[in-house]
Amino acid sequence: MRKVLFIPGPTEVDLDILAELSKPVIPHYGPDWGELYNSACEASKKIFKTKEFVTLLPLPGSVAIEMSIPNILEKEG
């Protein structure tokens, strides 16, 4: 029986995932990135069951939180 650790890191990664991660990184400019981004946005709409505009932020989650703060705070005056 193979043991599986359910603790924080290091984590076992499936070989299929490792194979995908070994491929070259797609730069965030040019037609390849645009097609991938648009495809991911459309897939996200289906996942979240929305017809509204979806924005994916390829950045750390802390930046997304900082970006949301001005949208939830009321302006004085």
Q: Has residue 30 been placed in a domain?
A: yes
CA-wise closest residue to 40 among 56, 24, 51: 56
Q: How many domains does the chain have?
A: 1
State the pLDDT at residue 8: 80
Residue range of the domain that includes 59: 26-72
What are the tens digits of pLDDT across the range 51-76? 999 989 888 889 988 988 888 887 77
Taking residues 9-35, what's their average pLDDT?
Answer: 88
pLDDT given at position 5? 74
In a domain, 19, yes or no: no
Task: Take residue 50 and report the two structure tokens written for it.
Answer: 């929305």
Contact indicator for 33, 27 with CB cutoff of 8 Å? yes
Domain membership flag for residue 57: yes
Mean pLDDT of 9-38: 88
In a domain, 68, yes or no: yes
Q: Does residue 37 sit within a domain?
A: yes
Query: Which pTM was predicted?
Result: 0.56
Degrees, nearest 5: CA angle 27-31-35: 95
Please, are residues 21 and 11 in contact by the beta-carbon 8 Å criterion? no
Mean pLDDT of 30-36: 87
Residue at 1 is within a domain: no
